[in-house]
């Protein structure tokens, strides 16, 4: 269930997208928002900070916030799964597991997940679809404490993140991301419907729980004709955005 600040941010976001606040206009003051929503100053500030992280409003403190754009984006400043991002944009999302097996941890597994030399991890290859079209290929390695729960999920599970939170309360709280371009290999080309050797956007990520325990790491490859990444710069923040193409 979303928090109160997320509900407030959602209402303001829809007002911005709907044109009530055009680009360049001033958002209501903190005091006005507190009165409108019957919320505390801290809750309103969290809602406004979320909108600023999405690049919708300016992040300047001590003054009314300025609306910067009316398009609906989502920032990596807050940790969201691909499924949550897709739902945010209103896409029909689907998922398909192509391979799933346990294996003894490799040197890279042990380094990324901070696990013992004899640990066994779960490796999953999964495609993601938006509106029926393959968009993303994930190669994810899950830490031993998650392996059994992930194995129980259906092959077409839309959101592993939400399912794990619902089943065992696991929260993916922090993420490190490295983004570059790589040529499509044979498996990439076949599962994403592109030519072998064509460029793909690669996101390598490590996700941890609130106490800093590594939970998963993944090599994710996006079709660049469908997804791009963007930086929205300001003196206060530089949120990385995942954007739909076309």
Secondary structure, 3-state, the chain: CCCHHHHHHHHHHHHHHCCCCCCCCECCCHHHHHHHHCCCHHHHHHHHHHHHHCCCECCCCCCCCEECCCCCCEECCCCCCHHHHHHHHCCCEEEEEEEEEEEECCHHHHHHHCCCCCCEEEEEEEEEEECCEEEEEEEEEECHHHHHHHHHCCCCCCCHHHHHHHHHCCCCCEEEEEEEEEECCHHHHHHHCCCCCCEEEEEEEEEECCCCCEEEEEEEEECCCCEEEEECCCCCCCCEEEEECC
Which residues make up the CATH 3.40.1410.10 domain(s) of the chain?
Answer: 82-233+239-244
Which residues make up the CATH 1.10.10.10 domain(s) of the chain?
Answer: 4-72
4-72: CATH number = 1.10.10.10
Fold of 82-233+239-244: Chorismate lyase (3.40.1410)
pLDDT in tens, the chain (246 residues): 567 898 998 899 888 877 888 888 888 888 999 999 999 999 999 888 888 777 778 765 556 788 887 665 555 544 457 787 777 667 788 999 999 999 999 999 999 999 999 999 999 999 999 889 999 999 999 999 999 999 999 989 988 888 888 888 877 767 788 889 999 999 999 999 999 999 999 999 899 988 889 999 999 999 988 777 765 555 455 555 665 655
């Amino acid at each position: 269930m979303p928090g109160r600040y997320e509900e407030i941010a959602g209402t303001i976001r829809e007002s911005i997208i709907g044109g009530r606040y055009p680009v360049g206009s001033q958002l209501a003051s903190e005091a006005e928002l507190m009165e409108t929503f019957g919320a505390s100053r801290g809750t309103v500030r969290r809602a406004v900070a979320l909108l600023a992280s999405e690049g919708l409003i300016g992040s300047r403190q001590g003054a009314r916030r300025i609306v910067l754009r009316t398009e609906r984006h989502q920032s990596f400043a807050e940790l969201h799964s691909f499924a949550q991002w897709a739902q945010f944009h209103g896409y029909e999302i689907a998922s398909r597991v192509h391979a799933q097996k346990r294996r003894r941890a490799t040197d890279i597994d042990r380094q990324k997940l901070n696990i013992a030399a004899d640990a066994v991890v779960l490796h999953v290859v999964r495609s993601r679809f938006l509106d029926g079209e393959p968009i993303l290929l994930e190669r994810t390695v899950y830490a031993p404490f998650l392996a059994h729960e992930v194995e129980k999920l259906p092959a077409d599970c839309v959101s592993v993140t939400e399912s794990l939170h619902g089943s065992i309360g696991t929260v993916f709280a922090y993420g490190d991301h490295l983004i570059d371009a790589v040529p499509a290999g044979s498996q990439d080309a076949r599962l994403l419907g592109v030519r072998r050797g064509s460029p793909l956007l690669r996101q390598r990520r490590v996700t941890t729980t609130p106490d800093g325990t590594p939970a998963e790491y993944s090599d994710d490859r996006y079709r660049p004709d469908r997804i791009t990444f963007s930086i929205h710069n300001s003196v206060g923040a530089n949120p990385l955005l995942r954007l739909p193409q076309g």
